[in-house]
Amino acid sequence: MSVFFYGCVTLDGYLADKNHGLAWLHETGSAEETGYEDFYRKMDAVIMGKRTFEEVARLENAASFYPITENYVFTHAASLPQKGFIPVSGDVAEFVAGLSPDKNVWIVGGNTVLAPLLDRDMVDYLIIQVAPVLLGEGIPLFTQKEGLRRFRLDEVKRYGQFAELVYSRNNSRR
């Protein structure tokens, strides 16, 4: 199994504005300007938190954005208003560890899902697109507990106004 974080942040490290909004992202560019399609074709499962799901659910035909993956949403709700998304609860790291070992898992969006996986050293790849935007405040990408985690820079790409940094886990912890 490989666990990927793939997402976009502002220059100052925010995933969303203070109200969890993504207008800054949509105003900067689109998925068509990135390597999203190639990345998504390699994924088997998508895992997101409730707030990320709420943003996705606002889009017209939200399920069409994730048509070939098993899509899990960490929430306390027993059901979701969109088809194609499965509500789950509990410990994110335990859930991921319980998935089939041949799966590629994409962690979408926020730190409530990403941080526990980073805390347990379960993230294999960080694919971070950086938008030329400064928000000054908002929802930060990284909120894991204190602990040194090293990643290796494998690739740098440019997609229009976005810089994409591709990192893989470095198993040494110096």
Query: Does the residue 157 lie in any domain?
Result: no
Query: Does the residue 174 lie in any domain?
Result: no
Query: Does the residue 94 lie in any domain?
Result: yes
Residue 112: φ, ψ to 5°: -70, -25
Number of Cβ within a 10 Å radius of residue 66? 20
Q: What is the mean pLDDT of each run of 10 residues along the chain (174 residues)?
A: 94 92 83 81 95 84 87 92 91 96 91 91 95 95 85 94 93 48
Query: Does the residue 42 lie in any domain?
Result: yes
Query: Does the residue 171 lie in any domain?
Result: no
Query: Does the residue 9 lie in any domain?
Result: yes
- pTM score: 0.90
Q: What is the residue-wise DSSP string for 5-70?
A: EEEEEETTSEEE-TTS--HHHHTT--GGGTTHHHHHHT-SEEEEEHHHHHHHHTSTTGGGGSSSSE
Query: Does the residue 161 lie in any domain?
Result: no
Residue-range definition of the domain harbouring residue 28: 2-151
What's the total number of domains in the chain? 1
Query: Does the residue 156 lie in any domain?
Result: no
